[in-house]
């Protein structure tokens, strides 16, 4: 069983909610990423999303855009991100890792070559932000053959009929975007999210993880009340930028300080 499915199934059986944490691979410099991943796990992350740096990260707000810029300036690529996952797997065989990125670097590598390399590195899921489900059959089939989950975004504006089609193609979990707009922006309407998730649960049995707009322990706890998992990204990437001149140990310690209270708040749901 894929690590994502195993982890989320176990949490659901325990009545617990998942904490999904996002950082950009190679941000603020490559040597910081591996200690950062281990720090996220130590602080209570159930799943790690690794952003694959891209020159035009259209779904991202200013904070995460700057993270992509820092990582690209430091020489990070899709291949080096896969190498990072391989290094992580040397000492962690349990925590699911999802690559969240854009289609162009994957297309340049080739769908089959990418899927095989990702599986070999220990990647568990892929979320390609700018590849609509209707155009994802080629990549989806290669990922499925490699044992990798294909995760799709659902937006507040996604019609029920389209949401059902997307859910039928997805695996692992569905990533519900809590806000109209880019990451880290806007006001989080918890009641609206709750209503949308209730509708989605009529369409799919896949776990529903919610991101965009979760900035602290209180908002994570509020979302976790109705979602299967809360995704925290901008808060962590903002720390990576603020600590860019620090050594990797200090960066990792700062992540623990930010993630641990969120984990504790979500645990209060149990």
- Whole-angstrom Cα distance, residue 22 to residue 231? 7
Q: Which two tokens stand for residue 156?
A: 């507040």
Q: Which two tokens stand for residue 192?
A: 């609206």
DSSP letter string over 89-142?
A: HTT-SSS-EEEEE-HHHHHHH-HHHHHHHHHHHT--EEEETTS-GGG-HHHHHH
What is the enclosing helix (H) or strand (E) of 197?
helix 190-201
Helix count (H) and strand count (E) of the chain?
Answer: 12, 8
Annotated catalytic residue 60: yes
Q: Which two tokens stand for residue 103?
A: 């289609």
What does the DSSP 8-state code read for residue 144? H
- Whole-angstrom Cα distance, residue 148 to residue 196? 27
- Whole-angstrom Cα distance, residue 52 to residue 252? 19
**Catalytic pick among 6, 31, 49, 90:** 49
Q: Are 43 and 217 in contact (CB under 8 A)?
A: no
Annotated catalytic residue 49: yes
**Catalytic pick among 6, 60, 134, 135:** 60
Residues marked active site are found at: 49, 60
């Amino acid at each position: 069983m894929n690590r994502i499915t195993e982890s989320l199934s176990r949490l659901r059986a325990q009545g617990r909610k998942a904490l999904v944490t996002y950082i950009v691979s190679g941000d603020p410099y490559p040597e910081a990423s591996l200690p950062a991943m281990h720090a996220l796990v130590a602080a209570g992350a159930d799943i790690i999303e690794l952003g694959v740096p891209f020159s035009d990260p259209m779904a991202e707000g200013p904070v995460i855009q700057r993270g992509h810029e820092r990582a690209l300036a430091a020489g990070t690529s899709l291949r080096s991100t896969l190498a990072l996952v391989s290094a992580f797997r040397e000492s962690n065989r349990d925590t699911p890792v999802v690559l969240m990125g854009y289609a162009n670097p994957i297309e340049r590598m080739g769908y089959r070559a990418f899927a095989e390399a990702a599986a070999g590195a220990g990647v568990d899921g892929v979320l390609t932000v700018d590849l609509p489900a209707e155009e994802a059959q080629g990549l989806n089939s290669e990922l499925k053959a490699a044992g990798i989950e294909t995760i799709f975004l659902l937006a507040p504006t996604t019609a029920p009929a389209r949401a059902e089609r997307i859910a039928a193609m997805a695996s692992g979990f569905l990533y519900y975007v809590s806000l109209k707009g880019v990451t880290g922006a806007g006001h989080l309407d918890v009641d609206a999210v709750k209503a949308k998730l209730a509708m989605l649960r009529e369409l799919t049995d896949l776990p529903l993880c919610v991101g965009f707009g979760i900035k602290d322990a209180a908002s994570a706890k509020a979302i976790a009340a109705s979602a299967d998992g809360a995704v925290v990204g901008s808060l962590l990437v903002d720390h990576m930028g603020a600590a860019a001149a620090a050594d990797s140990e200090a960066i990792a310690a700062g992540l623990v300080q930010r993630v641990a209270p969120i984990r504790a708040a979500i645990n209060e749901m149990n």
